[in-house]
Structure 1
Amino acid sequence: MSVSQLTSNTVSNVAIDYSEMEQVLGHSVFPELFEQGSTAMLKRRKNRHPDCIASNPMYVPDEETAKLALVWLMAPLQMLSLGLQGHTGTGKTELALYLADKLNLPIYIVKVHARMNPQDLEGSYVLDVENNQTVTRKEYGPAAKAYLNGGILLLDEFDKASGELTSAMHLLVEGKPWPLEMFKETIQKNAQCYCIGTANTYGSGHDERYITSNQMDNAFLSRFMWLETHYPNVIQESKILEKFAPRLPLHLRNDAIKLANAFRDAALGVNRDGNVADPIQCIFSTRVLVAWVYYIQAFGVFRTLKQSLDSVFLKSVYADDAEIAIEIVNKVFGDDINRPLKDILAKK
């Protein structure tokens, strides 16, 4: 065996230390958040874990919210878990995925729902085959994996959890030793485990718009530091649409943003604080906006703007809001909404 082969084999047998950290310039990792020449330093994992997930390359973070989330992540201690509250499509999950990806943190996603029980977080025993024999082995759930391996534990839409589940998560979100009833063992939180929850509400219970959200007790809610996510402003959404639909003319992308904000005004008020008489229940989120401009292009030049808008949004509007929804669309687009894309492209 040659020296080079021996060296190669030796290196390949060395276990990778996924907990090893390195100091990096903030601008090199988050150029969207830190200006060129900034001396801000961040810590991140030196080696990328197999459970890391690539984030959306088209995602444009809100600078202030992302920086505050980084303050929480970079702090020597996480005194509280992080709660991201905001309306649907404001980028709560995208923000968590973005931070995890850039910092080489594995991310373990728990899709919370009302029928979930504590064992779904912990794991279960499964049957497997070893040496041609059936054996029973332990398989940790996503929350237990995050607790043991480190990384971000993302409790997605955790305001949909039942009272039984939130009671079982008190020690988990507080970072205390966590007993796994399924396995009759107690595990310690990895020093690099970060718990983030996303929610449409602040745990106040039934909401006319988010009818599956449950009320959560104050003891659970007080274990979170809360940041509120918002829909991007006009400039931010313009940058997003330019990434997704650079071939669409600027005037069409701008009109699409105007329509999105007209719906948000009708649903949430001009200040997005809910101060609006008789609000509509449908929300024109950034997710919907991006999908619409994408399908305007995908539907082709011979189909109308209304056809793609019907498919991504209008068909899902409640019957009680349908009439006012059409009024909003007509107010922003007028006759253009019923014209094929080729006619819109011909306009100066």
Structure 2
Amino acid sequence: MSVQQINTAVTTTTTSIDYSEMEKVAASVLFPEIFEGSNVMLQRRKHRHPDCIESNPMYVPDEENTKIALVWLMAKDQMLALGLQGHTGTGKTELVMYLADRLNLPLYIVKTHARMNPQDLEGSYVLDNESGQTVTRKEYGPAAKAYINGGILLLDEMDKASEELTSAMHLLVEGKPWPLEMFKETLFRNKHCFCVGTANTYGSGHDERYISSNQLDQAFLSRFMWIETAYPTTIVEAKILERVGGKLPVNVRNDAIRLANAFRDAALGVNRDGDVEDPIQCIFSTRVLVAWIYYIQAFGKFRTLKQSLEAVFLRSVSPEDKEIAHHIVNKIYGDDINLSLGEILSKKS
């Protein structure tokens, strides 16, 4: 079969709507958290595609990283794909979902893992029922849909990918014509298709904290422009916790932030640069912090702070880190960690 060139919309889209139509909108309208009072204008899709995904309403973006990502998105050409590197729970995926949502960009997420093969990106033939008859039809994978429809292709945790997979993705991340071996077709990238990858490491291979990360070759890594994500500042995390736990006294939320940062000091150093002797491997991420505040409330007034903390964090700590973890908790809370929420509220009032 000869190679067929494909540059058409997937049949699931509505033909009466031109999803490629763009409009200019004030950045202060799209991203009021970042561009308040600014005269900057940004382009976004005029019509919201069925493959758009709602972002997390609790997410508070990092201003500088958001602006750099927008510079990349709004550039006439993307000379490189965009890579977001950072520890677990620093908001890499949340940032991508936030940008895609605000700009009406379809979002196609690939959960990368070591056993994934190139065909998982391309798609496969599936059996379907049509007018009582069993027929075989092609079903495009997430990467193929992004290439056809445009939008953001998110290669989530791409440092988990095998060498076979990353080698097959070179043309894909560059935006070049991409042959689909499964369908014997070649796809041409929609001009509004953007490739973003997230990773815990810079492809250095085995890491004591991220043991499933693989070594990635420089040929693949050099195809990305990198942004490093970090845990939010105390001020930003306070804003996040106000959204999820606004009914709790501010002192309760602030104590939780103090605990999170004490764990980060022990794992990553006070400057978050890894300069720490005998670091612990457990990470108290913003994701964990938000979950704890949520479950403090959900567990109710008659359960202790330690009960909810054990549920969301302490029970997942490795045996090697158990002792230091409990020491950190006792240093921040003392006996108060064994008080119920009701007792904490009475004490704080």
- Classify the TM-score, shorter chain: over 0.9
Cross-structure match for 2:7 = none
String of CA shifts for 1:249-278, please: whole Å, max 9, x gaps: 111100000000000000000000000000
SS in 2 for 1:335: helix
Structure 2 partner of 1:221: 221
Structure-1 separation of matches of 2:335 and 2:47: 55
1:251 alignment partner, SS class: helix
Provide the residue aligned with 1:28 in structure 2: 29
Q: 2:196 matched to which residue of 1?
A: 196
Alignment partners' CA distance in 2, 1:110 and 1:239: 30
What amino acid does structure 2 have at the position aligned with 1:162?
A: S
C-alpha distance in 2 between matches for 1:104 and 1:129 = 33
> Residue by residue, what CA displacement relative to the aligned partner does 1:64-93 show, whole Å, maximum 9, x if unpaired?
001100000000000000000000000000
Cα distance in 2 for partners of 1:81, 1:14 equals 29
Equivalent pairs, count: 335
RMSD: 0.8
Q: Which runs of 5+ in 1 are unaligned?
A: 1-12
TM-score scaled by structure 1?
A: 0.95
CA distance in 2, matches of 1:113, 1:183: 23
Where 2:202 maps in the other structure, the secondary structure is coil
- Residue pairs, 1:263-278, within 5 angstroms: 263-278=263-278
Counterpart of 1:308 in structure 2 is 308
- Taking the aligned partners of 1:300 and 1:125, their CA distance within structure 2 comes to 50
Q: Which residue of 1 aligns with 2:153?
A: 153
The 5 Å alignment of 1:254-265 reads: 254-265=254-265
For residues 127 and 260 of structure 1, the distance between their equivalents in structure 2, rounded to whole angstroms, comes to 50
Seq. identity, %: 77
Distance 1:178 1:33 in 2: 36
Rounded to whole Å, the distance in 1 between the matches of 2:250 and 2:100 is: 33
Cα distance in 2 for residues equivalent to 1:249 and 1:301: 13
Deviation at 1:131, TM superposition (A): 1.8
> Where in structure 2 are the equivalents of 1:1-348 lying within 5 Å?
15-36=16-37, 38-348=38-348
Could you tell me which amino acid in structure 2 is paired with residue 317 of structure 1? V
Which whole-Å deviations, capped at 9, do the CAs of 1:216-239 have from their partners, x for residues lacking one? Answer: 000000000000011000000000
Counterparts of 1:33 and 1:148 in 2: how far apart (Å)?
Answer: 31
**Amino acid of the structure 2 residue aligned with 1:21:** M
In the alignment, the residues of structure 2 paired with residue 118 and residue 80 of structure 1 have an alpha-carbon distance, to the nearest angstrom, of: 21
1-side partners of 2:66 and 2:192: how far apart?
19
Residue 9 of structure 2 aligns with which residue? none
Return 5+ residue gaps in structure 2 as ranges.
Answer: 1-13
Q: CA separation in 2, counterparts of 1:322 and 1:132?
A: 60
Give the match for residue 10 of structure 1: none
Amino acid at match of 2:138: K
Using the size of structure 2 for normalisation, the TM-score is: 0.95
User: Shift in Å at residue 133 of structure 1?
Assistant: 1.1
The equivalent of 2:3 in structure 1 is none
Q: Once the 2 structures are TM-superposed, how far is the Cα of residue 14 of structure 1 from its aligned partner?
A: 6.9
CA offsets per residue over residues 170-215 of structure 1, 9 Å max, x none?
A: 0000000000000011110000000000000000000000000000
Displacement of 1:134 after TM fit? 1.1
Helix, strand or coil at the partner of 2:33? coil
